[in-house]
Amino acid sequence: TPTMAKSKFEYVRTFETEEKLLPNSWIVVRIDGRAFHQFSTKHNFKKPNDSNALALMNKAASVVMNEFKDISLCYGQSDEYSFVLRKDTTLYNRRAPKIMTYINSLFSASYVFYWSHFFKETKLKHPPVFDARVILYPSDENLRDYLSWRQADCHINNLYNTTFWALVLKGGLTNAEAEKRLSGTLSSDKNEILFSEFGTNYNNEPEMFKKGTILLRKRVKNPKHGKTRVVVLPFHEDLIQDNFWERNSEILGI
């Protein structure tokens, strides 16, 4: 009300600072679940990869991407998701806290909202919590290297976790024994353990587990009436190689 606006308390507003993000740079917001190692155990996530949990992450990220049209790509794996906003976005005047908190709270609220669609038997035992950060990348190369870093992280962790849980669940080792067995091993050693001891060819593991999930906007045609519309679609493929960026040239605008 006008009376409140003119109160003697009004001056405290001048303590607020504006944290505006540098223009003409890629804005990345990454969220990550707090203590999801514990959260996943408490909610009986299948180890090493619970497909329903990943599908719920993807759903929550899709809600965010559908709400904020300036997000051109999302990348998710495990309990984390990265949201990439166009270099020229003017969303909330590029105010970092607004962008970061809206993305994080819409993601978190959607995760809870859709929980029961993906976990029919398991009740949510406590509210899941996600942290968030904002990072600016001035060049396309920096942005690509950021996404490559997250996808390489997904690969390294997934190879480790796949081997670890094979040793525990199929090999009968304790967690401590499996950890000890894997300490100091190279990727090639883990591939070899999986193949020779468990008959598992790592290459044949599901692409979503090995590569994570990329969400992109694509124009699709409705086969019934031929009208086209833009929808958010998931992809589970390599984004480190150049050809991903050539096939999806609209993202970098090249």
Q: Closer to ligand ATP by CB, 50 or 237: give it.
A: 50
Identify the residue among 27, 31, 53, 143 touching ligand ATP (CB under 6 A): 53
Part in contact with Mg ion (CB under 5 A); list of ranges 71-79, 114-122, 143-151, 176-184: 71-79
Is residue 37 at the binding interface for ligand ATP, with CB under 6 A as the rule?
A: yes
8 Å CB contact between 85 and 99: yes
DSSP H helices in 166-211 = 175-182, 187-198, 207-211
8 Å CB contact between 57 and 119: no
Is residue 54 at the binding interface for ligand ATP, with CB under 6 A as the rule?
A: yes
Is residue 107 at the binding interface for Mg ion, with CB under 5 A as the rule?
A: no
8 Å CB contact between 84 and 143: yes
Give residue 129's identity as a one-letter amino acid code: V
| Cα dihedral 19/21/27/32 (nearest 10) | -20
Is residue 152 at the binding interface for ligand ATP, with CB under 6 A as the rule?
A: no
Closest of 207, 212, 208, 210 to residue 190, by C-alpha: 210
Is residue 78 at the binding interface for ligand ATP, with CB under 6 A as the rule?
A: yes
Is residue 35 at the binding interface for ligand ATP, with CB under 6 A as the rule?
A: yes
Identify the residue among 30, 33, 111, 154 touching Mg ion (CB under 5 A): 33
Closest of 84, 186, 98 to residue 137, by C-alpha: 84
Note the residues at the interface with ligand ATP (CB under 6 A). 32-37, 40, 45, 47, 49-50, 53-54, 78-79
Note the residues at the interface with Mg ion (CB under 5 A). 32-33, 36, 78-80
